[in-house]
Amino acid sequence: MNRRYRKTIIAGNWKMNKTATETKKFAEDLKAIMPKAKWCDVVICCPFVNIPAALRAFKDLRIAVGAENLFYEPSGAYTGEVSADMLKDLGVKYVIIGHSERRQYFGETDVTVNKKVHAALEAGLHPIICVGESLEQREMNITMDLIALQVKSAFAGVPAEKARKCVVAYEPIWAIGTGKTATAEQANEVCNAIRATIRHLYGARVARSVTIQYGGSMNPKNAAELLAQPDVDGGLIGGAALKPDQFVEIINAANQE
């Protein structure tokens, strides 16, 4: 990480876990063990229905609330969908876009990811744009090309002043929920390549200001080493963000770097 130029962001991705009642309990448990000072921004991205409870519960802890998805149209006949403005109006700050589970199970593509990035930015939300390769793609040695393509597609048509508001999360699919983590070197290599792609698109100033997270089985044991890498500016955390003690240990690791 490099605190001089960009924010360190530790973000939890709760996926389809926890009720509103459990959200409140999590916040109470967290409050008892949260460090007084934080040198990183902390975000919890939770299911839509838990957002009001999360906003209430995390306010005192100065934890921002994020959503896990949105729909790119501003309003209209899209039964079951949630717009960027609806999230913004509630007080949501971040939104995960293009998580590999959404690409895998819900048909998201680089094209829909780009539309969602535009919608989020238009509403004043910070998109957390997920990119990452499968194990097969890594073994075929196409990781760097694929990631560059995902990043270029996600940022297509986004002006520089808005690109600065984006967060990119490098999440190798083979490391998500599997307990297999990318080595610190592998994580930094790809995060560095993501920054190089952003530099190519927008120049050095924007590239050095964008927070690039690593995600994929980050936990209290491996967090410090991953976060010590110069191009890893935080984590997007699934499983370990469901447990207050583990989440706090990762925040503490970010505090120490």
Q: Report the interface residues with ligand PEP, using CB under 6 A.
A: 13, 15, 171, 176-177, 215-218, 236-239
CB nearer to ligand PEP: pick between 216 and 234: 216
116 exposure class (CB count in 10 Å sphere: 0-12, 13-18, 19+): buried
CB of 75 to ligand PEP, least distance (A): 29
CB of 216 to ligand PEP, least distance (A): 5
Catalytic one among 99, 118, 126, 133? Answer: 99
Closest-approach residue to ligand PEP (CB): 238
Q: Does 99 participate in catalysis according to the annotation?
A: yes
Rounded to an integer, what distance in angstroms lies between the CA atom of residue 82 and that of residue 89? 12
CB nearer to ligand PEP: pick between 174 and 202: 174
CB nearer to ligand PEP: pick between 98 and 215: 215
CB nearer to ligand PEP: pick between 10 and 163: 10
CB of 90 to ligand PEP, least distance (A): 22
Q: Does 118 participate in catalysis according to the annotation?
A: no
Q: Where in the sequence numbering do the catalytic residues fall?
A: 99, 171
